[in-house]
Structure 1
């Protein structure tokens, strides 16, 4: 049985980041990463549309934690020890400069996730970290102060064991057997399936909006993207993250209310529309978009307000004015189902957070067993926040493991 100082199960972002930092803390350690698939870092490759959304330009811990529907309280302390600025410095020290986009998302200047993948692989080679693929975890158990780890191919022994396997139900079941409580997983980032004439043929159009789930006390604001299957974009993904469990309980069948003019009420817009009736009296309502809305979206809203295409502003009656104001500020859409957000599958669920020491990310139930990433019941809205959780957890766990783990071969 081969013996290691640290074994990390999971060849993703959290696993590699932990291994690299642990090796730097203590170069004498014998460290190995076990990956069940044929390739490592596959989620890094597809993140951010293939550009890798490394983190988010939010530098205040108390503000950063607000982006985590699950984990807000627990991450407050860890973020004071390693957060966005530290992440930027970590990559820059390895020759990778990050850039910030208008919405705060941060990417490598190369605009390629391969840059991050190459960095991790290079660091592992330099630090003599062994990476083995095609190693699916079968079981693990304590044995006289060590962890014995059994895969589909081999068996190993290690002083320190980290599980960074994401939302892997098989690993969660193994943790249940040794006493850990697992919060059932439900999708966290997903788009809303909506079939409605008002958004038919508008795929690709985006507009700032306010959206609220009726009867569920869930609301958000931000860019709303119309897709072939319904609605997506940051505004919708915030709702999906914060309402992950509620929406799962509704079997993803519910109604949302959309205000296409954020910050404006029905009565405010009604008064503005009445002014437009006089200002543009001789013009067709559908011809010139108002309130900075995309033209095709405006035209569909006008049509949904029972206003014919040739109707002029001066000819609008009271009911049509009210209909238009209502469609602009409180349009109701029926959601029937969900779709995964691109290939970035994120779940709410995992190891119950009360069973983890967030100073070290070590299990409170089993000594020398550590966790990082989405295996924990932590998830965030889209924008680089889930990766920041992985970097922070990986760094603190690596510090704890690397400082006192010594080879006992």
Structure 2
């Protein structure tokens, strides 16, 4: 008999276990991990550096980075947020640094530092870690008038007073708790890049620039989907855009994929985007600028990039506007400049499919947020069952925010478990 069983040997599971053990010494705790190694997602995140959190210390602003969970996380972030995460690691000798874009990494630039910290803590606190432990069933039983959890592991089973599920986007685990009465929001991919074959970008992989990207809504495109005004407003993003061998990536695209996860899935990942490569301009204002340049510049248009965008992108967009290599500014027609202004501020690109962003698998979906008490992360359906991490319908844009959800959920679930055990001591 355990006091607490935690299913899932990832970030949220370890964080919850450590906080239970620290706040209630001598509690019998075990982490069950189905794989042969723990903390595998921590290991590969941030290109092996582990993007621990983000330097956004205001709870209201922090919550705005969660397409699913923004409203629900506001309270939890007032309890435990990025600053608390930094404190946790620094107290254990792991210094973090802030990069220019706000992402926070260990100063060592190695995710192994985070893994070593967690492994050292669970050893120090006497927490059992059981690998190769694939859960094959969960049920709530009654013993001596008290409800307990029975977790089937292969041919055997373990019992526990409290159960924390930190299994991430695990369909099998969702199936078990759905059978116990929970509602599961169907999962769809989030954080993905766009597959685009287009002559304007096919020859320039590696080019990066600031851009604004907007999904062109379709009423009947792929699966039928009705866009509400709120859907349309979220399907625009601005930020760095990276041209790749397969299409487009970078923060502008990843943010769009996260906020538009459900709509883009309904489109079957076949849709059009409109790209403004110079977000400080709209089409008419840019045309006015180009007409002014025409009055004073004498060189060929290809050789005189007049905007702050990469040279190779400028060349491709000029050519796409029907302007050849030898056309000078005095020779170019107003119609050609109108086409160029449109290519620069409202170019349409066809997206045909998606690709996973590096190793950072993120899913939108999971336990319905209406069924979670966010003061304790306890199930409203099944008392003494707690959640942490991506098992619930919360996901974030890239930048350390998904890990912060894991730390916050792990901490608050642990706090709830400790309080529950203390109030029901036996």
Shorter-normalised TM-score: what interval?
Answer: over 0.9
Look up the match of 1:164.
166
Deviations 1:97-149 (A, max 9, x none): 11111111111111111111111111011111111111111001111121011
Counterpart of 2:394 in 1: which secondary structure?
Answer: coil
Following the alignment from structure 1 to structure 2, what is the Cα–Cα distance between the partners of residues 259 and 279? Answer: 25
Q: 2:77 aligns with which of 62, 76, 79?
A: 79
Give yes or no for contact 1:25–1:403 (8 Å, CA) kept in 2.
no
Q: Where does 1:367-378 land on structure 2 (aligned, <5 Å)?
A: 367-378=383-394
Q: Where does 1:48-59 land on structure 2 (aligned, <5 Å)?
A: 48-59=46-57
What TM-score results when the alignment is normalised by the length of structure 1? 0.97
Q: Where does 1:174-193 land on structure 2 (aligned, <5 Å)?
A: 174-193=176-195
Q: 1:249 aligns with which of 266, 291, 315?
A: 266
Give yes or no for contact 1:348–1:378 (8 Å, CA) kept in 2.
yes
Following the alignment from structure 2 to structure 1, what is the Cα–Cα distance between the partners of residues 329 and 354? Answer: 38
Following the alignment from structure 1 to structure 2, what is the Cα–Cα distance between the partners of residues 153 and 159? Answer: 21
Divergent runs of 4+, >3 A: 406-409
Check if 1:130 corresponds to 2:132. no
Check if 1:152 corresponds to 2:134. no
Q: Provide closer, same or farther for how the CA distance between residues 5 and 251 of structure 1 changes in structure 2, counting only shifts above 3 A.
A: same
Q: Where does 1:360-371 land on structure 2 (aligned, <5 Å)?
A: 360-371=376-387
Deviations 1:326-350 (A, max 9, x none): 1000000000100111110101000
Following the alignment from structure 1 to structure 2, what is the Cα–Cα distance between the partners of residues 371 and 313? Answer: 63
CA shift for structure 1 position 381: 0.8
Give yes or no for contact 2:321–2:339 (8 Å, CA) kept in 1.
yes
Check if 1:306 corresponds to 2:304. no
Q: Where does 1:28-107 land on structure 2 (aligned, <5 Å)?
A: 28-107=26-105
Following the alignment from structure 1 to structure 2, what is the Cα–Cα distance between the partners of residues 275 and 99? Answer: 46
Counterpart of 1:52 in 2: which secondary structure?
Answer: coil
Give yes or no for contact 1:6–1:405 (8 Å, CA) kept in 2.
no
Following the alignment from structure 1 to structure 2, what is the Cα–Cα distance between the partners of residues 154 and 308? Answer: 74
Counterpart of 1:150 in 2: which secondary structure?
Answer: strand
Q: 1:316 aligns with which of 329, 332, 347?
A: 332
Following the alignment from structure 1 to structure 2, what is the Cα–Cα distance between the partners of residues 376 and 402? Answer: 21
Look up the match of 2:295.
278
CA RMSD of aligned residues (A): 1.3
Following the alignment from structure 2 to structure 1, what is the Cα–Cα distance between the partners of residues 383 and 89? Answer: 31
Following the alignment from structure 2 to structure 1, what is the Cα–Cα distance between the partners of residues 202 and 305? Answer: 18
Look up the match of 2:284.
267
Following the alignment from structure 1 to structure 2, what is the Cα–Cα distance between the partners of residues 153 and 237? Answer: 43
Look up the match of 2:224.
none
Q: Structure 2: any 5+ residue segments left out of the alignment? A: 218-226
Look up the match of 1:338.
354
CA shift for structure 1 position 408: 8.3
Q: Structure 1: any 5+ residue segments left out of the alignment? A: none
Look up the match of 1:228.
245
What TM-score results when the alignment is normalised by the length of structure 2? 0.93
Following the alignment from structure 1 to structure 2, what is the Cα–Cα distance between the partners of residues 383 and 279? Answer: 44
Look up the match of 2:198.
196
Look up the match of 2:222.
none
Counterpart of 2:164 in 1: which secondary structure?
Answer: strand
CA shift for structure 1 position 403: 3.4
Give yes or no for contact 2:208–2:240 (8 Å, CA) kept in 1.
yes
Give yes or no for contact 2:291–2:334 (8 Å, CA) kept in 1.
no
Following the alignment from structure 1 to structure 2, what is the Cα–Cα distance between the partners of residues 35 and 111? Answer: 26
Deviations 1:17-65 (A, max 9, x none): 0001110001110111000111111111111111111111111111111
Counterpart of 1:38 in 2: which secondary structure?
Answer: coil
CA shift for structure 1 position 151: 1.3
Check if 1:10 corresponds to 2:8. yes
Q: 2:375 aligns with which of 359, 375, 398?
A: 359
Counterpart of 2:64 in 1: which secondary structure?
Answer: helix
Give yes or no for contact 1:29–1:402 (8 Å, CA) kept in 2.
no
Following the alignment from structure 1 to structure 2, what is the Cα–Cα distance between the partners of residues 267 and 290? Answer: 16
CA shift for structure 1 position 199: 0.3
Give yes or no for contact 1:254–1:334 (8 Å, CA) kept in 2.
yes
CA shift for structure 1 position 191: 0.5
Counterpart of 1:20 in 2: which secondary structure?
Answer: helix
Counterpart of 2:330 in 1: which secondary structure?
Answer: helix
Counterpart of 2:188 in 1: which secondary structure?
Answer: strand
